[in-house]
Amino acid sequence: MKIKIINGPNLNMLGKRPKEHYGTKTLDEINEMIKKEAEGCEVSFFQSNHEGDIIDEIQASIGVWDAIVINPGGYTHTSVAIRDALEIFPGKKVEVHLSKVNERDDFRKINYITDVCDKTFMGMYEMSYIEAIKYLKNTK
């Protein structure tokens, strides 16, 4: 299975963000954990702070990658355009959040992403990504 991991804005700053929400690991450390868990799969990592670049990456994944694991960061709560791009992607789609987005600020309860994805994992810090990989490995 070929899995594209996409991280949105500010996730490149993990390690410096509030630990009570996001844990202590950097994005590089999380990506190393993902690589180990995804042994036997091909994985590729993409992070951007720009909405259009994330959309381009989702579109470029069509027909190339079997699955997308995406943490859209703050765009989760604002981006109809990322939602629309995900809707077109024909493979498996897994939404990931480090924090419990549905138990935080009211504006984080607005979510444009969940219902175009096959599965969501949240609130387990870096383990949310690991659960996403396990899910994909079990549902090929």
Binding site for ligand DQA (CB under 6 A): 10, 71, 73-74, 76, 97-99, 101, 108
Sequence-separated (6 or more) residues with CB below 8 Å from residue 24? 15
Closest CA to 127 of 3, 25, 13, 6: 25
The residues that are catalytic are: 22, 97
Give me the least distance between CB of 125 and ligand DQA, in Å please.
9
Of 25 and 92, nearer to ligand DQA (C-beta) is: 25
Give me the least distance between CB of 95 and ligand DQA, in Å please.
9
Q: Largest Cα–Cα distance in the chain?
A: 40
Give me the least distance between CB of 100 and ligand DQA, in Å please.
8
Place of tokens 């943490």: 71
Closest CA to 70 of 117, 137, 107, 20: 117
Of 73 and 91, nearer to ligand DQA (C-beta) is: 73
State which amino acid sits at residue 34.
I
Measured distance CA(140)–CA(138) in Å, rounded: 6
